[in-house]
């Protein structure tokens, strides 16, 4: 059974999330603070994490950073923080998506399902590999390398890069990329895409601010350089 670790110190929120995740067929692990979350994560290796940024023993941003340092598991940030900069910071540190409290439980479940989707090897042809200069994107294996060195991307980062790689040279708007990455249409800040692109560039671009692979088309969106 697919498992989800829910990290939140509000029992009412945890109970609500558990109820809807149970109905959706997920196994739910609960942590009320960062220390417990790290222990449960190490012991059970959950398939996804729902993480509140406001925790009693450590900042949720610090916990996010520690989880992302060791794993590419999908992470959805659940936060009451109204400042958009906090949400973008979470994305830049490796979160895959965010939901702002108060939230709709059905939407939360839909987002988790979208983050957990994984194409099987049978969904792609064996030769489904895109090469742009030193950048190599192996779609069936979900692997990315630059000059022969493998690059670790989060699931959302890979999905975003794969979308661009499917049609090198095509310009995608931020709205189109949001829809492609999440698989369903959400009202979300387009800056979320900018944060993910910033992370991808940091990992794959040889020179900061002299981008060779993921290119900006000002006023429109992004594209992958053509082979």
Q: For the chain, what is the HEC assignment?
A: CCEEEEECCCHHHHHHHHHHHHHCCCEEEEECCHHHHHHHHHHHCCCEEEEECCCCCCCHHHHHHHHHHHCCCCEEEEECCCCHHHHHHHHHCCCCEEEECCCCHHHHHHHHHHHHCCCCHHHCCCCCEEEECCEEEECCCCEEEECCEEECCCHHHHHHHHHHHHCCCCCEEHHHHHHHHHCCCCCCCCHHHHHHHHHHHHHHCCCCCCCCCEEEECCCEEEECCC
Q: What is the predicted pLDDT for the residue at 120?
A: 38
Tens of each residue's pLDDT in the chain, 227 residues: 899 999 999 999 999 999 999 999 999 999 999 999 999 999 999 999 999 988 999 988 899 989 988 888 999 988 776 556 666 777 777 888 888 888 888 888 988 988 887 543 334 334 488 888 899 999 888 899 999 999 999 888 898 998 898 888 999 988 888 877 765 444 455 678 888 999 999 999 988 889 999 999 998 899 999 86
Note the pLDDT of residue 116: 82
pLDDT of res. 87 = 67
């Amino acid at each position: 059974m697919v498992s989800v670790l829910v990290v939140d110190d509000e029992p009412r929120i945890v109970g609500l999330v558990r109820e809807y995740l149970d109905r959706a067929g997920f196994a739910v692990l609960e942590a009320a603070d960062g220390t417990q979350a790290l222990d449960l994560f190490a012991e059970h290796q959950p398939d996804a994490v729902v993480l509140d940024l406001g925790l009693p023993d450590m900042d949720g941003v610090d916990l996010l950073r520690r989880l992302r340092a060791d794993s590419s598991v999908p992470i959805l940030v659940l936060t009451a923080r109204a400042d958009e900069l906090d949400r973008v910071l979470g994305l830049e540190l490796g979160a895959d998506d965010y939901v702002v409290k108060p939230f709709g439980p059905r939407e939360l479940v839909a987002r988790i399902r979208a983050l957990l989707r994984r194409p099987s090897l049978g969904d792609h042809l064996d030769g489904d590999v895109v090469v742009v200069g030193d950048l190599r994107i192996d779609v069936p294996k979900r692997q990315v390398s630059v000059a022969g060195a493998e690059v670790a991307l989060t699931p959302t980062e890979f999905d975003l890069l794969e979308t661009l790689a499917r049609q090198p040279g095509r310009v995608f708007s931020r709205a189109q990329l949001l829809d492609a990455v999440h698989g369903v249409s959400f009202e979300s800040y387009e800056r979320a895409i900018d944060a993910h692109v910033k992370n991808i560039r940091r990992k794959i671009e040889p020179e900061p601010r002299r981008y060779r692979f993921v290119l900006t088309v000002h006023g429109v969106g992004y594209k992958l350089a053509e082979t």
